[in-house]
C-alpha cells in the first residue's frame, strides 16, 4: 500500500519509464529476474568447486582464505566503480557486459596453472560478480518505477533460487564431468540465460553524465566524488545492510559446525540448518513483494527484523536439535526481505543517484559478509557459537529500531 504509492510516485518522476509499453515492462521484469538467477547460479556452482580448487593447487586453508579475500576485494572495488559506470552509461548496459564477463569466470579459474594466475582469476570473478550485482539491483529499481509495483524481493528470490539450483547441480557435475567439464557446463548454461535476456533490460529513465561524451573532462575526480552523498541517511541505510548481511553470512559459514560440534549432530544432519534457512528465505522473497505493498517497507522491515531476532534466540538458546533447526527456519522468514528492502530504498533515496545509493549500501553489506567470518571465528573459539547466534537476536532487534529513523523506508 505505502510501498506502491512510494514506487508510483518515483515512477511519475521517472518520465519515460512510466510510459513504456506494458509488454516491454514485462519483458524487462523477466530479464532482470534472469540476471539475478544467473548471478546466484554462478555463486551456487562456485561453492562446491572450492575444495576441488584447493586439492588441485595443493594449498592450505590459509592460502585458500587469501584467495577468497582476493575475490572479496574485487567485489568491493567493482561495486563502487560499477556504480559510477552505471550512473554514466545506464544499468542495462552494465548488466549486459558484466553478465557476459561473469559467465566464463569459473572456467578461467579451472584453467589457471599457478597460484598467481588463480589469484588473478579470483579477482576477475569478484569484479564481475560485484559489478553485475550492483547494476542488476539498479535495473530492478528502474523496473519497479516503470511498473509502479515492488519487484525487488522476488528478484532476490530468483538469486536464491539460482544458488539453490547451482550448488547441488554443481556438485553432481563435478563428480560426473570433472573440474573442467563442470566449468564448461556452467559457461554454457549461464551464457544461455544471460544471452536470452540481453535485449530486454529496461533503459534507465535518466543517465546522469559525469561529463558528456565530448567533454574531455568527463572523468575528472571532482565530478566522480561529487556523486557521493554527504548526508548521513544513505550511510545509516548501509549500516542496516551491514547488520542484515552479517547474520545471514553467519548461518552460511557456521550453522553446520554449530550443529555438529555443540549439538553433536550427525554429519548427515549438519547441513539441515542452512537448508531450512535458505529454503524459507527463497520462499519468503517470492512472497515479499506482496507483503511490502500491503504493509509498506518500514513496517515490513521492522516486523522482519523482529522475526529474525526471535529465530536467532531460538537457534542460540534451544537445547534440542529440532528446536535449533526450527530457529534457523524462522531466521530465514525474518531475514529474507531485509536486504531487498534496503536495496530498494537505496535506489530511490532522495538526492542520490540510484546506482550510487545501491553501490554504497551493497559495499556496506559485502564488507560485513567479508569481515564477519574471521571475526566470528575468533570470538567462537572463546565463547562458542551458541552465544554468537543468541547475540544476533539483540543485534537484529537493534537493527529494526535503527530502521525507524530512516525516512527513506517510509517515503
Could you tell me the CATH number of the domain that includes residue 2? 1.20.1250.20
Q: Does residue 324 contact residue 314 with C-beta atoms inside 8 Å?
A: yes
Residue range 332-336: mean pLDDT, rounded: 95
**Rounded distance between C-alpha atoms, residue 308 and residue 314, angstroms:** 10
- Taking Cα atoms as reference points, which of 376, 403, 281, 386 lies closest to residue 323? 386
Q: Report which of residues 131 and 406 the model is more confident about.
A: 131
Q: How many CB atoms lie within 10 A of CB 262?
A: 14
Q: Do 13 and 81 fall into the same domain?
A: yes
pLDDT tens profile 155-173? 999 998 998 888 889 889 9
**Rounded distance between C-alpha atoms, residue 411 and residue 408, angstroms:** 5
Q: Report which of residues 71 and 197 the model is more confident about.
A: 197
Q: Do 396 and 261 fall into the same domain?
A: yes
Q: Is residue 222 part of a domain?
A: no
Q: Do 255 and 168 fall into the same domain?
A: no
- Percent of the chain scoring above 90 in pLDDT: 46
**Rounded distance between C-alpha atoms, residue 142 and residue 17, angstroms:** 8
Number of domains in the chain: 2
Reported as type and span, the H/E element at residue 185 is helix 152-197
Q: Do 190 and 269 fall into the same domain?
A: no
Q: Does residue 106 contact residue 166 with C-beta atoms inside 8 Å?
A: no
Q: Do 245 and 110 fall into the same domain?
A: no
Tell me the helices (H) and strands (E) count for the chain, helix number first. 16, 0
Q: Does residue 42 contact residue 132 with C-beta atoms inside 8 Å?
A: no
| Cell 531466521 -> residue | 331
- Taking Cα atoms as reference points, which of 6, 347, 2 lies closest to residue 205? 347
Q: What is the mean pLDDT of the chain?
A: 85
- Taking Cα atoms as reference points, which of 193, 239, 229, 232 lies closest to residue 342? 239
pLDDT band at 213 (very low <50, low <70, confident <90, very high): very low
Q: Is residue 277 scored above 60 in pLDDT? A: yes
Phi, psi (degrees; rounded to nearest 5) at 141: -65, -40
**Rounded distance between C-alpha atoms, residue 176 and residue 309, angstroms:** 41
Q: Do 131 and 50 fall into the same domain?
A: yes
Last residue of a domain, one of 187, 203, 219: 203
Last residue of a domain, one of 203, 220, 250: 203
Number of residues that this document lists for the chain: 411
Q: Report which of residues 48 and 176 the model is more confident about.
A: 176
Domain that holds residue 320: 231-411
Residue 324: HSE in the Cβ half-sphere, 13 Å Cα cutoff: 27
Last residue of a domain, one of 157, 187, 203: 203
pLDDT for residue 336: 94
Q: Please tell me the pTM assigned to this model.
A: 0.81
- Taking Cα atoms as reference points, which of 236, 231, 214, 238 lies closest to residue 83? 238
Q: Is residue 197 scored above 90 in pLDDT? A: yes
Q: Is residue 183 part of a domain?
A: yes
- Taking Cα atoms as reference points, which of 313, 300, 336, 297 lies closest to residue 395? 313
Q: Do 275 and 160 fall into the same domain?
A: no
Task: Please give the grid coordinates belonging to residue 14.
Answer: 521517472
Q: Is residue 185 part of a domain?
A: yes
Q: Does residue 353 contact residue 205 with C-beta atoms inside 8 Å?
A: no
Residue ranges in 58-113 assigned as alpha helix (H): 61-89, 91-102, 105-111
Q: Does residue 305 contact residue 396 with C-beta atoms inside 8 Å?
A: yes
Rounded to a whole number of angstroms, the CA Rg of the chain reads: 21
pLDDT for residue 305: 96
Q: Is residue 213 part of a domain?
A: no
Q: Do 34 and 160 fall into the same domain?
A: yes
Q: Do 383 and 326 fall into the same domain?
A: yes
- Taking Cα atoms as reference points, which of 83, 123, 380 lies closest to residue 228? 83
Residue range 221-245: mean pLDDT, rounded: 78
The region of weakest confidence among 2-16, 27-41, 71-85, 108-122 is: 2-16
Task: Please give the grid coordinates belonging to residue 293.
Answer: 505493498
Q: Is residue 133 part of a domain?
A: yes
Q: Is residue 295 part of a domain?
A: yes
**Rounded distance between C-alpha atoms, residue 203 and residue 225, angstroms:** 24
Q: Do 256 and 398 fall into the same domain?
A: yes
Q: Is residue 216 part of a domain?
A: no
Q: Do 171 and 275 fall into the same domain?
A: no
- Taking Cα atoms as reference points, which of 365, 345, 371, 394 lies closest to residue 239? 365
- Taking Cα atoms as reference points, which of 252, 300, 310 lies closest to residue 277? 252
Q: Is residue 64 part of a domain?
A: yes
pLDDT tens profile 105-114? 999 999 999 9
Which sign does the torsion angle of CA 348, 352, 358, 364 carry?
Answer: negative
First to last CA, the chain: 12
pLDDT for residue 102: 97
Q: Do 238 and 169 fall into the same domain?
A: no
Amino acid at each position: 500500500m505505502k510501498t506502491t504509492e512510494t514506487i508510483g510516485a518515483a515512477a511519475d518522476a521517472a518520465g519515460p519509464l512510466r510510459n513504456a509499453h506494458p509488454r516491454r515492462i514485462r519483458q524487462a521484469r523477466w530479464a532482470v529476474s534472469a540476471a539475478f538467477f544467473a548471478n546466484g547460479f554462478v555463486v551456487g556452482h562456485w561453492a562446491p568447486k572450492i575444495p576441488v580448487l584447493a586439492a588441485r593447487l595443493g594449498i592450505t586453508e590459509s592460502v585458500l582464505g587469501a584467495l577468497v579475500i582476493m575475490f572479496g576485494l574485487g567485489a568491493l572495488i567493482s561495486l563502487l566503480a560499477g556504480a559510477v559506470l552505471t550512473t554514466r552509461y545506464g544499468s542495462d548496459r552494465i548488466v549486459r557486459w558484466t553478465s557476459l564477463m561473469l559467465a566464463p569466470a569459473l572456467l578461467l579459474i579451472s584453467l589457471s596453472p599457478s597460484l598467481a594466475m588463480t589469484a588473478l582469476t579470483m579477482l576477475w570473478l569478484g569484479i564481475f560478480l560485484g559489478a553485475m550485482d550492483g547494476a542488476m539491483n539498479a535495473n530492478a529499481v528502474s523496473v519497479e518505477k516503470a511498473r509502479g509495483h515492488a519487484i525487488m524481493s522476488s528478484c532476490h528470490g530468483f538469486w536464491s533460487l539460482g544458488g539453490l539450483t547451482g550448488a547441488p547441480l554443481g556438485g553432481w557435475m563435478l563428480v560426473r564431468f570433472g573440474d573442467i567439464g563442470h566449468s564448461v557446463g556452467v559457461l554454457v548454461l549461464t551464457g544461455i540465460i544471460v544471452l536470452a535476456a540481453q535485449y530486454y533490460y529496461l533503459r534507465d529513465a535518466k543517465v546522469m553524465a559525469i561529463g558528456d561524451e565530448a567533454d574531455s573532462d568527463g572523468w575528472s575526480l571532482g565530478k566522480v566524488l561529487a556523486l557521493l552523498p554527504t548526508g548521513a541517511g544513505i550511510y545509516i541505510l548501509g549500516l542496516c545492510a551491514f547488520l542484515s548481511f552479517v547474520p545471514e553470512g553467519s548461518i552460511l559459514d557456521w550453522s553446520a559446525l554449530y550443529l555438529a560440534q555443540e549439538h553433536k549432530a550427525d554429519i548427515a544432519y549438519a547441513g539441515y540448518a542452512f537448508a531450512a534457512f535458505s529454503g524459507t528465505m527463497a520462499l519468503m522473497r517470492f512472497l515479499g513483494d506482496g507483503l511490502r505493498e500491503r504493509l509498506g517497507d518500514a513496517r515490513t522491515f521492522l516486523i522482519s527484523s523482529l522475526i529474525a531476532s526471535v529465530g536467532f534466540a531460538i537457534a542460540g538458546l534451544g537445547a534440542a536439535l529440532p528446536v535449533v533447526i526450527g530457529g534457523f527456519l524462522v531466521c530465514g522468514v525474518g531475514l529474507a526481505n531485509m536486504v531487498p528492502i534496503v536495496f530498494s530504498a537505496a535506489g530511490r533515496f532522495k538526492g542520490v543517484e540510484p546506482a550510487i545509493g545501491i553501490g554504497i549500501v551493497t559495499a556496506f553489506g559485502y564488507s560485513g559478509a567479508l569481515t564477519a567470518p574471521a571475526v566470528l571465528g575468533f570470538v567462537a573459539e572463546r565463547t562458542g557459537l551458541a552465544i554468537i547466534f543468541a547475540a544476533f537476536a539483540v543485534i537484529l532487534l537493534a537493527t529494526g529500531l535503527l530502521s525507524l529513523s530512516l525516512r527513506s523506508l517510509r517515503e
